[in-house]
Chains A and B, each alone.
Chain A
C-alpha cells in the first residue's frame, strides 16, 4: 500500500491489498461496538458529582453519540468511493475535509478494539510479525494498522 499527501491536503491511498481494505471496511463496525466496556470508555463520567453525571448523560452523551456516528458514516462513504474490485488492489482518497472524521473513527475503532480485547500497554508496544493463526495477534495487527493510518492523518494536520 502506498500513501501520499496530495497538494490539496487530501491523503491518497494506492494499491491497497484486499486484506488491508477489508480492515478499513471494519473501522465503522469496530467503532460502533456496543460492548459494555466500550460504552464505559466512550462515555466516561465527567466528575463524581451525581447531579452533573445525570445532566451529562441526558444532555451531552446523545450529542457525543451523534458526533461519533457522523464520523463513522463519512469513513464508510469514502470507502464506498474506492476504485478497484474485491480481488484487486484498491485506490482511494481521503479529502482534507474528511480528515477529522477519519481521525475520530480510527481512534474510536482502536479504543473499542483495545477495550473488547483487553489489550494493555505491554500489548501495544509488543513487536514481531502477526501470527495469522492467532486471532489475538491479528486483532493487535488491526489495532496497529489503524494506529499507523491515524498517525499519518494526525501528522498531516500539524
Chain B
C-alpha cells in the first residue's frame, strides 16, 4: 500500500489567504471501504455515489482530492477526517 504522500511545502504567505486548498485523503490497508464511504458522506454530505467514487479513487490510486476551497474550511475538514482516523492532509491547490 502506498505510503502517505508529502504535500508540496508552501507557506500560507506564499500561497495567499484566498488561494484554494485541497483536502487529500490517502489510502491505508486497514480502513474498510464501507467505512471510508460512510465518513465521506457524513463529513462532506456527499451522495452515496460520489462518496464511493472518492473511496475507490483512494483505494485504486492511493489518494483522492475530496474537497477544494478556502483554507480555514479545509483545515476543519482535515480535522474531521482525522477524528475518524482517515489519513488526510491539506495542500495548496495548483493555481490555474
Contact = CB atoms under 8 A, between A and B. Distances in A.
A30 B9 CA distance: 35
Contact of A104 (B8, B31, B84, B89): B84
A111 B83 contact: no
A113 to B, nearest CB: 9
B12 interface: yes
A121 B83 contact: no
Interface string A127-158: 00000000000000000000100110011011
Given A47-B90, A47-B91, A147-B32, A64 B9 contact: no
Contacts of B38: 154, 157-158
Given A154-B38, A157-B38, A47 B32 contact: no
A94 B53 CA distance: 31
A108 B88 CA distance: 16
Interface string A1-37: 0000000000000000000000000000000000000
A1 B29 CA distance: 27
Nearest to B35: A154
A124 B30 CA distance: 8
B9 A48 contact: yes
Given A45-B89, A47-B7, A121 B29 contact: yes
Interface in A112-130: 114, 119-121, 124
Interface size bracket, B side:
20 to 34
A13 to B, nearest CB: 19
Interface size bracket, A side:
20 to 34
28 contacts: A44-B88, A44-B89, A46-B89, A46-B90, A47-B89, A47-B91, A48-B6, A48-B8, A49-B11, A63-B83, A64-B82, A64-B83, A67-B83, A104-B85, A107-B31, A107-B35, A111-B28, A111-B30, A111-B31, A120-B29, A121-B29, A124-B30, A150-B32, A150-B35, A151-B35, A154-B32, A154-B38, A158-B34
Interface of B: 1, 4, 6-12, 28-32, 34-35, 38, 48, 75, 78-79, 82-85, 87-91
Interface pairs A-B: 5 shortest CB-CB: A121-B29, A48-B9, A47-B90, A114-B30, A154-B34
Given A46-B88, A104-B84, A107-B85, 16 more contacts: A41-B28, A42-B85, A43-B82, A44-B4, A44-B88, A46-B78, A46-B89, A47-B7, A47-B91, A48-B7, A64-B82, A110-B30, A111-B28, A111-B85, A120-B29, A124-B29
